[in-house]
Chains A and B, each alone.
Chain A
């Protein structure tokens, strides 16, 4: 794992991608910091970080696009996969190298709250907690980007796909607002979601009877639940789907100054899930 980690890290700084990414991040942190904290005199650095959430949406795909797509295209994955290294180690090596590159501008921005402190009142605890949440949010985005990169050979598709998904996650809270909140609407929404899930399962396993049984079980339980306890479905769909909005956890830190420990656990769980999915996607490619 360390061999892959070191090579990837070196590659980031040999191909300029690493420098460009860091320069890009530092530049925008600087701009937001100057505008919000220096010029407007706003004492919370977390405000700057909220602005940066939209900026990393552009930076992270550039960082993650080549991670697996490039290996696959240049066939260097043949070296990695025929070496005595497990796929999980390979994925983790690459993931940690990207996190390291991302950590550099995040650590550099750690000076900013101290600068605020030099000029008057600062809220160091809230700011550093927000910085931690911001770092983990970035790690979630990197995991998303890495997963998308493992699905394709093309760096462009990987970058655009990652950008699209991060943008969707950013818009998610507003999008969920358009969904019906009535009980019948929620029940219908759940039916659609369940059917989509069953369709995916049937495509992956190519097991017809299993899909039919799953679909029947889902429809039946939703119908029974709806008839027995109708008010359970009031706003249920929006409540469930809102949870997907990963930026909410960061906003708890940055806007409401709450240390949302559960949220951090949520971030880490998503990262684990995505790393696991990346491993699976590479394994699947080998076997199909």
Chain B
């Protein structure tokens, strides 16, 4: 178990970590999430004893990293942002050196090194100088080094940064496997990564912990802003009329979809807290409303609020800015779901202008 109590790191007037406290339980994968410069790396560097804290304590399985450093460090395997590798050594030499530093007994050393080389798929390159390895392989050597000797806590700072998609999947699989019997803490500014791997997400911004929950709970918390999108064959005005008659549909907008005679309608589902149970029924309501007018619905999709939005909301960039930065968001890691009704409206208005 890791306990972080009231941690402060002051870089000459700039608070990189601002009274941060949390507890990490055994046997789960935790994700530190935050924008660049949020204090994730600084927190990890303090937790692993690389740098000291201005205030506060970090207890690793009961050992204070700042006072009883050697015992605490034995419990941790750390992969910093840049894997700390000596470029003048071969992969195997590097891992042997790390094993020796970690005080793995001499008789177990070869076995331990071979085990992590298998795990990180490094056997083929074990005789190569680290100088000649690509970024992806270096990252793997760093990972192998962190898990060497299988310490109970493994801390990974942006483990997938700079890797190609195949390598990212491989590293994620490895992390998931490690998570089965280790406590893993990883940091990232990429949401999909954290939500794909972690059991628990901690969102950090400006050195403070602003949310800490499972990915599902975080999404549920924000569920009030869900929306819906329809493709309907029929005239614009009629669609608008039908939708405005439905009480749950707010902020309705209808645009041409590009195909002849087909329009795209989108709206926000506004649910009063007491009406929550009826939320399921809105699809039915809509279906029958359009069926009555003999307008065929070609597709119907609920736009669930994604973790991206939770993240942006919590890190203070807010909905208003989601709309503004809508375009760049979509090119990002957006899962193809529109962020919000308003966002679609604005973007497609722009397209309409171009056409006319």
A interface with B by C-beta (< 8 Å): 2-4, 6-7, 10-11, 14-15, 74-86, 286-287
Contact = CB atoms under 8 A, between A and B. Distances in A.
A13 to B, nearest CB: 10
B86 A287 contact: no
Nearest to B88: A14
Contacts of A85: 70, 101
Contacts of B48: 82
Contact of A79 (B76, B87, B93, B98): B98
Contact of B50 (A14, A15, A286): A286
A82 B86 contact: no
A280 to B, nearest CB: 13
Contacts of A286: 50-52
19 contacts: A7-B86, A7-B89, A7-B97, A11-B88, A11-B89, A14-B88, A74-B84, A76-B85, A78-B82, A78-B84, A79-B84, A79-B98, A81-B49, A82-B48, A82-B78, A84-B102, A85-B70, A287-B51, A287-B52
Contacts of A11: 86, 88-89
Contacts of A78: 45, 50, 78, 80, 82, 84
A84 B71 contact: yes
A50 to B, nearest CB: 36
A10 B90 CA distance: 12
Given A11-B89, A78-B78, 18 more contacts: A3-B100, A3-B101, A7-B86, A7-B97, A10-B93, A11-B86, A14-B89, A77-B84, A78-B50, A79-B84, A79-B145, A80-B101, A81-B50, A82-B48, A84-B69, A84-B101, A84-B103, A85-B101
B348 to A, nearest CB: 47
Pick the 9 closest A-B CB pairs, nearest first. Answer: A3-B100, A79-B84, A287-B52, A83-B101, A78-B84, A84-B73, A82-B48, A84-B70, A76-B84
B86 A76 contact: yes
B74 interface: yes
B56 to A, nearest CB: 13
Nearest to B100: A3
B70 A74 contact: no
Contacts of B88: 11, 14-15
A82 B87 contact: no
Contacts of A74: 84, 86-87
A282 to B, nearest CB: 11
A3 B93 CA distance: 11
B86 A86 contact: no
B82 A82 contact: no
B69 A86 contact: yes
Contacts of A81: 49-50
A85 B102 CA distance: 8
Nearest to A283: B52
Nearest to B77: A82
A3 B49 contact: no
A83 B73 contact: yes
Most chain B Cβ neighbours within 10 Å, of A2, A77, A79: A79
Contacts of A77: 84
Interface string B37-65: 00000000100111110000000000000
